[in-house]
Amino acid sequence: MARTVVVTGGGTGIGLAVARRFTEAGDAVTIVGRRREVLERAAESLGATVRPLVCDLADADAVEALLKELPSSIDVLVNNAGSRETVPGAGPHAVLARWRGDFERNVLTAVLLTESVRDRLAPGQGRVVTISSIAAVRGAGSYGASKAALHAWNHFMAAQLGPSGITANVVAPGTVAGTEFFGSRLDEAELVRRASRTLVGRVGEPDDVAAAVHFLASPEAGYITGEILHCNGGELLGR
């Protein structure tokens, strides 16, 4: 049976791969992001069952307006929207801008939407999957701290949603090629270096993460909640 799926940051990279995975399974998918052209291009490539909605998910007013457009019942919510703040400088204003930017773009984008649609998550089968990062456990300044905050928040959400039969889990990718995250920094030499740090001899692809998300959103994963699924090829071993 087709499910109703919402994927944030669904226009490129991991989010696009996740949206494609659910679309190919026959689900009705809504992709949400800040850039209209990117979203519309993604929706066109994915097919008629995909609906693009533009929203700055770190803006409470924008999220409130978005609620009118979102499905009244949501089976799967994938919190993928996020970015790394790159404000230069070492003074207090630059530090504040980096930390505030990373918190807003990585934490609030997940929290504001999830809290706003809690009553729409399907009882007994709803799934919330949030994309974190290897940086949350390895450490990476404001970006790593913001992703680590998602881990603590996910534990809270799992406890809140569990009595309704709804699960909440995190997927924490390692290095993933084919996204906008690294920009020009991920050249061939850097790809080789990062691949050598894994146990499988390669970096990840968006489809690797999409597969992990799709599993945690599946009926078969109904007894898994409050977990962090590391998807990094053994670059950093979990405990």
Annotated catalytic residue within 22, 103, 143, 181: 143
Buried b / exposed e along 30-63 (16+ C-beta atoms within 10 A) = bbbbbeeebbeebbeebeeebbbbbbbbbbeeeb
- The verdict on whether 143 is a catalytic residue reads yes
Residues belonging to the active site: 143
